[in-house]
């Protein structure tokens, strides 16, 4: 009986200890490979860990790389990240489950820089993944990007490089100015993303609004376009060079629903340069504003009015078969069953484009010295937002932006050379293997007899 009582008391004490013990946080990432001196400091004190291959990184841990050191981290969601030499970063928050609704990643970049290919965590809600510095917050929207905190070191690095800089030109044809409701876009590979303010739009992409949703886009040439509810459209082609605007073109297809368009530089400089194709006819967007609606036979639907077009500013033309109908301000027509009839209004949803407030910094660029202190961000693919001092700057594929110490954000006229010619490995499999080979080679040379 005494033995049983002793055993029960011991078991109860053990169970109570388990209940009272704090739950250990699940690892956020692990070191995939490292070169040089890398340290992982726990949040609650204790001995730092050497950041060797396989070492776990937990929420709250601080990672430091020494001069000449590199470390590649792999997070639970598949995000891969290379920390460059002389970097200090804190994994402030990290939580991820495949079907989780409260996933979250917050990284604090104290100094140095990182090169990142994000995983599944950034493909959820827009504000799930962020990188913070002392002057800016970087919002990550499923992307491949670099971030670097620069003092005078970045300028000194550029000064040692002999290569030329290239223009920091936008690859995106348009950006979302406003969105209300669920609007999604599918690229040429079939990848679908949800649009938010600042999202880029590229040629070949199909965008679609839900039955209650609207969105407004601004193109690089100044053209503005609003989507009504239940609209499906495609940007077939877009070419625009500020130095040669007469060679520009904007080709789109309205597959279903409504568009409201205000022409920019392309229709101003090239009379046949801006076209919207439908099943029922082709609309030429000359300088001015137009409402278009595609339903019924225009949208391959059983009911509807066909193609409806109204010129509410300027003039345009609608071509169907061998006939071309020219529209002046206030004139409209509907095409259905091979016949055209005049109309005076079109039930197009969304904001009329001439009432749209387009942020000046949406595509603007300015002179930024390569040795200017601040936070520089370069996007290889995807969408990043830099927020600082109450301002925000949206970056898309191929673009670089920065946040100054004053809090102002800017898009440089040229790509800084320390970004253009960065030799720190991008964390993609081929580069990972190359980095791992360097680590193995260094280890072998260290163990050789001398």
Q: What is the pLDDT of residues 216-231, one digit of tens each?
A: 999 999 999 999 999 9
Which helix (H) or strand (E) segment is 440 a member of? helix 429-447
Over range 64-92, report the average pLDDT: 97
At 438 the pLDDT is 52
Is pLDDT larger for residue 21 or for residue 247? 247
202 inside domain: yes
239 inside domain: yes
Task: Express each pLDDT in 185-203 by its tens digit.
Answer: 999 999 899 999 999 999 9
At 352 the pLDDT is 96
Smallest CA-to-CA distance from 387 within 120, 136, 67, 185 is with: 136
Q: Look up residue 145 and give its two tokens.
A: 């990007």
pLDDT at 85 over 70: yes
At 446 the pLDDT is 39
pLDDT at 256 over 50: yes
Say which CATH number the domain at 276 has. 2.60.120.1440
In whole numbers, what is the pLDDT of the chain averaged over residues?
Answer: 89
Q: Count up the domains in the chain and report the number.
A: 1
At 316 the pLDDT is 94
What distance in Å separates the CA atoms of residue 308 and residue 138, rounded to the nearest whole number?
43
Over range 307-329, report the average pLDDT: 95
pLDDT at 13 over 50: no
pLDDT at 4 over 60: no
225 inside domain: yes
Over range 252-264, report the average pLDDT: 97
What distance in Å separates the CA atoms of residue 226 and residue 178, rounded to the nearest whole number?
9
Q: What is the pTM of this model?
A: 0.83
188 inside domain: yes
What are residue 315's phi and psi, to 5 degrees?
A: -140, 160
At 439 the pLDDT is 45
Over range 166-171, report the average pLDDT: 88
Smallest CA-to-CA distance from 324 within 314, 336, 335 is with: 335
Over range 264-272, report the average pLDDT: 93
What distance in Å separates the CA atoms of residue 109 and residue 73, rounded to the nearest whole number?
14
At 303 the pLDDT is 86
The parent domain of residue 288 ranges over 174-355
What distance in Å separates the CA atoms of residue 400 and residue 377, rounded to the nearest whole number?
6
Reported as a pLDDT band with limits 50, 70 and 90, residue 429 is low
How do strand 249-262 and strand 56-57 relate by DSSP bridges? unpaired
* DSSP letter assigned to residue 337: T
Count the residues in the chain.
450
282 inside domain: yes
Reported as a pLDDT band with limits 50, 70 and 90, residue 21 is very low
Q: Which of 122-126, 209-213, 286-290, 417-421 has the lowest mean pLDDT?
A: 122-126
Q: Are 85 and 435 in contact (CB under 8 A)?
A: no
Over range 423-441, report the average pLDDT: 64
Which helix (H) or strand (E) segment is 287 a member of? none
Q: What's the angle, vertex CA 88, arms to CA 84 and CA 94, rounded to 5? A: 100
Q: Tell me which range, 96-110, 153-167, 370-384, is most confidently predicted by mean pLDDT.
A: 370-384
Q: Which of 161-170, 218-227, 369-378, 381-390 has the lowest mean pLDDT?
A: 161-170
Over range 119-139, report the average pLDDT: 88
Q: Which residue has the tokens 């368009």?
A: 261
Over range 118-122, report the average pLDDT: 89
Over range 341-365, report the average pLDDT: 93
Over range 423-446, report the average pLDDT: 59
At 43 the pLDDT is 85
Smallest CA-to-CA distance from 58 within 82, 29, 37 is with: 29
With H, G, I as helix, E, B as strand and everything else as coil, classify residue 449.
Answer: coil
231 inside domain: yes
At 14 the pLDDT is 43
Is pLDDT larger for residue 8 or for residue 80? 80
What distance in Å separates the CA atoms of residue 219 and residue 392, rounded to the nearest whole number?
18
Reported as a pLDDT band with limits 50, 70 and 90, residue 23 is very low
At 430 the pLDDT is 53
316 inside domain: yes
Over range 262-270, report the average pLDDT: 95
Over range 297-323, report the average pLDDT: 94
213 inside domain: yes
pLDDT at 8 over 70: no
Strand partners, 40: 49, 63
Q: Which residue has the tokens 């200090």?
A: 88
Q: Which of 117-121, 126-130, 170-174, 253-257 has the lowest mean pLDDT?
A: 126-130
């Amino acid at each position: 009986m005494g033995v049983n009582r002793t055993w029960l008391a011991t078991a109860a004490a053990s169970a109570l200890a388990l209940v009272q013990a704090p739950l250990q946080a699940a690892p956020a990432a692990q070191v995939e490979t490292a070169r040089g001196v890398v340290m992982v400091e726990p949040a609650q004190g204790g001995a730092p860990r050497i950041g060797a291959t396989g070492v776990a990184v937990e929420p709250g841990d601080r990672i430091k790389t020494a001069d000449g050191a590199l470390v590649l981290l792999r997070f639970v969601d598949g995000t891969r990240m290379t920390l460059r030499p002389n970097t200090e970063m804190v994994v402030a928050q990290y939580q991820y489950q495949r079907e989780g609704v409260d996933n979250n990643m917050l990284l604090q970049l104290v100094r140095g820089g990182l090169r990142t290919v994000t995983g599944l965590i950034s493909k959820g809600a827009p504000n799930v993944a962020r990188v913070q510095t002392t002057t800016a917050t970087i919002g990550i929207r499923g992307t491949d990007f670099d971030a670097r905190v620069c003092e005078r070191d970045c300028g000194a690095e550029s000064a040692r490089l002999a290569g030329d800089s290239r223009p920091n030109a936008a690859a995106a044809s348009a950006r979302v100015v406003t969105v209300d409701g669920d609007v999604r876009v599918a690229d040429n590979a079939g990848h679908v993303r949800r649009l938010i303010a600042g999202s880029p739009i590229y040629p070949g992409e199909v965008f679609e609004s839900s039955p209650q949703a609207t969105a407004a886009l601004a193109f690089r040439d100044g053209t503005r376009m609003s989507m009504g509810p239940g609209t499906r459209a495609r940007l077939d082609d877009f070419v625009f060079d500020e130095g040669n605007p007469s060679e520009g073109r904007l080709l789109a297809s309205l597959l279903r629903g409504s568009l409201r368009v205000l022409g920019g530089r392309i229709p101003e400089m090239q009379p046949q340069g801006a076209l919207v194709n439908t099943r029922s006819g082709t609309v030429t967007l000359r300088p001015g504003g137009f409402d278009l609606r595609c339903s019924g036979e225009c949208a391959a639907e059983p009911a509807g009015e066909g193609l409806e077009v109204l010129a509410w500013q300027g003039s345009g033309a609608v071509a169907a078969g061998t006939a071309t109908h020219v529209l002046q301000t206030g004139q409209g027509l509907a095409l259905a069953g091979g016949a055209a009839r005049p109309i005076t209004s079109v039930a197009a949803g969304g904001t009329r484009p001439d009432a749209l407030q387009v942020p000046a910094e949406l595509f603007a660029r300015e002179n930024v010295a390569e040795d200017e202190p601040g936070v520089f961000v370069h996007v290889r693919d995807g969408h990043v937002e830099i927020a600082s001092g109450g301002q925000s700057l949206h970056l898309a594929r191929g673009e670089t932006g920065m946040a100054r110490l004053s809090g102002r954000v800017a898009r440089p006229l040229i790509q800084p050379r320390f970004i253009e010619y960065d030799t720190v490995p991008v964390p993609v499999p081929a580069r990972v293997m190359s980095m791992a080979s360097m680590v193995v080679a260094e280890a072998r040379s260290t163990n050789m007899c001398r």
